Structure 1
Amino acid sequence: MSFKDLQLNRPILRAIAETGYNDPTLVQEKTIPLVLNKKDVIVSAQTGTGKTAAFALPILRLLFDKQDASKKGKKIRALIVSPTRELAIQIGENFKNYSTYTNLRNTVVYGGTSIEPQIDILKKGVDILIATPGRLLDLHKQDIVNLDYVETLVLDEADLMLDMGFIDDVKKIERLCTKEKQILLFSATIPYKVEQLANTILKTPERVEVTPNSSTSKNINQMLYYVPKRNKIELCLHLLRNTIKGSILIFRRTKFGVEKLEQTLLKNGYKVDSIHGDKSQNLRQEALKNFKLNNINILIATDVAARGIDINNLDAVINFDLPNIPETYVHRIGRTARAGNVGASYSFCSADEKNYVKTIQQLIQFQIDVIDEHPYPLDPKAKPIIHKSKKTGSKHKKGRKSAASKKKKKRWY
């Protein structure tokens, strides 16, 4: 099947051709006709399957006939809600590329940056708005954003949106739009709470499922290193010196962990940067840009900060901390070996993460190769360190004499 078979018009087909895509991906093939038929749709597809185009292209086609309103007369007819700033920016870039030969205008609004320039653009009028929940509701409160004309509402990365605590915001945004709108819900996984949300706001939705969430690419060489927690940084340095080369994405569970590893690698002369929630938007964009331009070859990230980010030609992924959700492992390593390339993943497992390995292997139905030949092996009998909280208060049982009072004291009587 080609894009021409999907009832897209010439200006959009021309823009697609210029971005270098020839044939639609599976998720695009299945989703685009449903969107053009004005159906509500739930799409379960992972990053890297081309799902942004699966909603961007049909939305542009549906809005094409209404594109010639004067700038001031433009109303927001499509609203895309995205959990993170990086994702919103990326979606905005896609819309910009695909709408090159139309008069449709789109803009992106997100928090962590000045609101004034965003207000100026919105006042000039846009057809398509891509937004993070918090900033969107701020702008609505200030009467800058009017959602009365929204025909299509897209909830992208719904599972992440709910994990980040945006459920009430999402429901509020849905209520602010017209009742007649079409809703498209995209999610890497469909856990119970996403299912619940879909049941409350979608009308008899069509379902599109692309590749089960448990599949990992055959082109990824997956390796597992058992290592004491205290030696993970040494093991990482050892592998970077001797084994892992090229562009590398390292995942850590916490922002503090990201910072700590970044400082160590910088001290050891590596070209490295990081993205996490506490960094300003500009710094995060700068880090991504430098990584894509090969000014740095190592990027350290938390899962939330890295979700949905398109990084092509990635040579290796290091799971410095193993994820406690097995699907997250699939997302992480799926960033390498894209578009038929070969990649590698290196996972560090300490004693308290052994259970995570079990659940990951059950999900992917695959035994990950264990590499024993390294300088920091984990003692097979090592038990996880359990940190007990120090009890406060008296160390003496009530009603008992203290050691001091038991000593023979001279009495005055």
Structure 2
Amino acid sequence: MGITRKQVSTCTCKQDIKGITTKMAEETEEKPKNFHEMELDDRILKAVAKLGWQVPTLIQERAIPLLLEGKDVLVRARTGSGKTAAFSIPVIQKILNFKETAKHQEIKALVLAPTKELCHQICSVIKDLTIKCSREVRCVDIAPQVDLSVQKPLLVEKPDIVIGTPSRTLQHLKANNLKLKKSLELLVIDEADLVFSFGYEEEVKEIMLFLPKIYQAILASATLSEDVKSLKSLVLHNPVILKLEEPDLAPASQLTHYHLYAEEMDKATILYALLKLHLIRGKTIVFVNTVDKCYKIKLYLEQFGIPTCVLNSELPATIRCHSVNQFNQGIYDIIVASDEKALEKPGNESVASDGKKSKRRKDKESGVSRGIDFQFVANVINFDFPLDVQSYIHRAGRTARGNNQGSVLSFVSIKEKDLLDSVEKRLQQGQEDVSVFKSYQFKLDEVDAFKYRAKDAWRAVTRIAVREARLKEIKLEIFNSQKLKSYFEDNPNDLQVLRHDKALHTVKIQQHLSDVPEYIVPPSLKSLAGIAKRGKRKREHYRPSDSSTAKYQLKKSNPLLSMEFDGFDKKKKKK
């Protein structure tokens, strides 16, 4: 992880967060604890072993014993450091302890998170950790936006752990579906720095009125912002603060940053060439700034036979979670995500790509660049450069998680250069002599043949095509809706009307675009791509040869290292 055990500081709430200087020198010499040394239940240890977690991360090693002792804890660690398991394991352990003397089934733990995706993810982690004690510890996610009456039977059974967004939890509390006043023992707020920024301040304050006076509280956050300080004073009682003194992102040995100056049409051409020639290996997230651009990129890449899925705040939570699961399972290697939170203006109105206010309904409880656990992401591509430093950090945090390697490639237009400079200044952290971003050398004139194809495909994705793609998605959502399934069974004619509605004017797919003929690949890339001596073989959909695969095995420690085309300079060397 690039973090030494001397870089953790612990303090009580009597100390100001900015003044944390405790080095815990007496603890630095101690041997790191393993899971089996934390007095955890055997059922939890078996689940941990099944998940393949050999040793706890640094934050897990420090947080779990403190939480098992019953202390309120504020955990600050960057995304991907294992915060979810750091609070989930002790919550499960304490519930198992309660079960030994409990006479009645009661709700013991409430977990609040700012987005529906994060609630779904936390629930999945807890279910994985309780696989050997699923009868003893039950967990329910109430974040999905269904009718309250649908979830009421689940809460009547009093599950041990309830997970939800603040607004959804408050709705159930007011409806008297959720009663916590006498039973709650544990309160967890994950991604605490986003709770207030998502507009949940009033909801959290109201939720506190429904809780008992005494309970153990846990706050987990990636930053220690002013909002977190406010939440700390509201929720925690005499807490211990665990702060990992670490940079915002993984070190340079683990995460590499590239930048490339290009305008929009050139961005599209380069993206097409990189993906179609398989010069980028592994799972990739392509970030854009607007929902329209999200669909435009998807429709653009589909014309070249490049399968992708999309993720944005207009999609229902079930579809968003399904897309993330498909990406994590390897069904899709490329996901196009819109991180439009930075574009929001007061009054919950957002700005579209043409500068006009968008009237589309976005899900307030959605999150793309924060919280979601995209697994084994090798590359992040910023097609649109993020509009602030924090957005860049959160996007880059989707890769190089745990001990995995990762790379970030940012396309930068002339207008976005100032944003790049501000990000680099922040990431340098006082090391002005060290350049964070490596210049990615790509000679656009080498792929002129790709550019002609890219222009035609890009222009084919009109505003109407984007709108029709969204309508098509809504229709599919209607067909798959469980709530409407019984209605369509009783009214089959209505379903037929929907199925035989006018044809959607989506982008026309031309089969020949999915092939990459040898003659359009520049000589400098043929050897790199493994098609240097294909001769007069029948033209086919390009796949890298075994020799090129072996070459990339040498560079797999850095997924985007293959993007530095050494072949471009071969002509000069021969001369």
Normalised by the shorter chain, which TM-score bucket? 0.7 to 0.9
Q: 2:380·2:408 contact (CA, 8 Å) conserved in 1?
A: yes
Alignment of 1:17-36 (within 5 A): 17-36=49-68
Distance 2:42 2:173 in 1: 35
| 1:337 and 2:412 are equivalent in the alignment | no
Partner of 1:389: none
Alignment of 1:193-272 (within 5 A): 193-217=227-251, 218-229=253-264, 231-242=266-277, 243-272=279-308
Q: 1:224·1:371 contact (CA, 8 Å) conserved in 2?
A: yes
Picking from 420, 427, 450, the partner of 1:364 is 427
Distance 1:8 1:69 in 2: 18
Aligned partner of 1:89: which letter?
A: H
| Bigger shift: residues 171-180 or 207-216 | 207-216
Partner of 1:39: 71
Partner of 1:58: 90
Q: Quote the offset at 1:146 in angstroms.
A: 0.8
Aligned partner of 1:39: which letter?
A: K
**C-alpha distance 162-235 of structure 1, shift in aligned 2 (>3 A):** farther
Q: Show CA shifts across 1:219-248 (max 9, x none).
A: 223210112245433332233234323321
Q: Show CA shifts across 1:175-209 (max 9, x none).
A: 32112112211111122222222123322221112
Partner of 1:301: 337
Aligned partner of 2:185: which letter?
A: E
SS of corresponding position for 1:176: coil
Q: Quote the offset at 1:329 in angstroms.
A: 2.2
Partner of 2:311: 275
**Any unmatched runs of 5+ in structure 1?**
377-413
Picking from 153, 157, 161, the partner of 1:124 is 157
Partner of 2:143: 110
Distance 2:299 2:273 in 1: 16
Q: 1:213·1:327 contact (CA, 8 Å) conserved in 2?
A: no
SS of corresponding position for 1:91: helix
What's the TM-score once normalised by structure 1's chain length? Answer: 0.84
Picking from 89, 110, 130, the partner of 1:99 is 130
Across the aligned residues of Structure 1 and Structure 2, the Cα RMSD in angstroms comes to 2.3
Q: Quote the offset at 1:324 in angstroms.
A: 3.0
Distance 2:194 2:337 in 1: 16
Aligned partner of 1:95: which letter?
A: I
| Bigger shift: residues 163-172 or 329-338 | 329-338
Partner of 1:166: 200
Aligned partner of 2:254: which letter?
A: N
Q: 1:39·1:206 contact (CA, 8 Å) conserved in 2?
A: yes
Aligned partner of 1:88: which letter?
A: C
Partner of 2:224: 190
| Percentage of matched positions with identical amino acids | 31
Distance 2:437 2:164 in 1: 39
Distance 2:304 2:145 in 1: 32
Aligned partner of 2:165: which letter?
A: T
SS of corresponding position for 1:345: strand
Q: 2:192·2:219 contact (CA, 8 Å) conserved in 1?
A: yes
Partner of 1:373: 442
Q: 1:44·1:186 contact (CA, 8 Å) conserved in 2?
A: yes
Partner of 2:389: 326
**C-alpha distance 162-237 of structure 1, shift in aligned 2 (>3 A):** farther
**C-alpha distance 292-70 of structure 1, shift in aligned 2 (>3 A):** same
Alignment of 1:364-403 (within 5 A): 364-365=427-428, 366-375=435-444
SS of corresponding position for 2:70: coil
Partner of 1:399: none
**C-alpha distance 233-161 of structure 1, shift in aligned 2 (>3 A):** farther
Report how many aligned residue pairs link the two structures: 376
Q: Quote the offset at 1:265 in angstroms.
A: 1.8
Q: Quote the offset at 1:372 in angstroms.
A: 4.2
Q: 2:369·2:391 contact (CA, 8 Å) conserved in 1?
A: no
Distance 1:215 1:101 in 2: 35
Q: Quote the offset at 1:330 in angstroms.
A: 2.8
| 1:146 and 2:146 are equivalent in the alignment | no
Picking from 281, 284, 290, the partner of 2:320 is 284
| 1:89 and 2:120 are equivalent in the alignment | yes
**Any unmatched runs of 5+ in structure 2?**
1-32, 340-366, 429-434, 446-575
Q: Quote the offset at 1:339 in angstroms.
A: 3.9
Distance 1:168 1:255 in 2: 29
Q: Quote the offset at 1:263 in angstroms.
A: 2.1
Q: 2:380·2:409 contact (CA, 8 Å) conserved in 1?
A: yes
Q: 1:189·1:213 contact (CA, 8 Å) conserved in 2?
A: no
Distance 2:404 2:246 in 1: 20
| Bigger shift: residues 325-334 or 23-32 | 325-334
Partner of 2:461: none
Q: Quote the offset at 1:373 in angstroms.
A: 2.5
Partner of 2:412: 349
Q: Quote the offset at 1:110 in angstroms.
A: 0.9
Q: Show CA shifts across 1:309-335 (max 9, x none).
A: 222222211012222332332332233
Aligned partner of 1:98: which letter?
A: L
Partner of 2:513: none
Aligned partner of 2:191: which letter?
A: E
Distance 1:112 1:278 in 2: 13
Aligned partner of 1:196: which letter?
A: S
